[in-house]
Amino acid sequence: MTASESSPGVAPHLYPDAGSEPIAVPDGVVPQYAPKRWIPKRILLTRAALEWPLARVIAERGSALGSDVVELRADRIEGLRGPDQRAT
């Protein structure tokens, strides 16, 4: 009985055959490009968040990376809709 017969609807690559060999990757192989680090454009901090040490650490890190750190006057965040889904 094969993996596809024993578990119908499951991708066969999740259950390789007993005789299949794993693909060998040579030593020293590195990706051709480094992944791009995501840096937020803006960090919004509420008054309540500023009471937490972790929020202050996040604000300091964001500021060091060049993000705009905005300290809000209240504990409510409104109007975050962007022009499209990706910008929101």
Give pLDDT tens digits for 54-78: 999 999 999 999 999 999 988 888 7
Tokens coding 79: 């109007």
**pLDDT given for residue 83 in this prediction:** 82
Helix ranges, the chain (H): 3-6, 47-50, 53-64
Q: What is the pLDDT of residues 6-37, one digit of tens each?
A: 545 555 555 555 555 656 667 777 667 767 88
Q: Which residues pair with 43 in a beta bridge?
A: 69
Cα torsion 64, 70, 75, 81: sign? negative
Question: Is this model's pTM higher than 0.75 or not?
Answer: no
| C-beta neighbour count of 21 within 10 angstroms | 6
In this predicted model, which residue has the larger pLDDT, 83 or 44? 44
Cα torsion 12, 16, 21, 27: sign? positive
At residue 4 the predicted structure's pLDDT band, cuts being 50, 70 and 90, is very low
**pLDDT given for residue 49 in this prediction:** 92
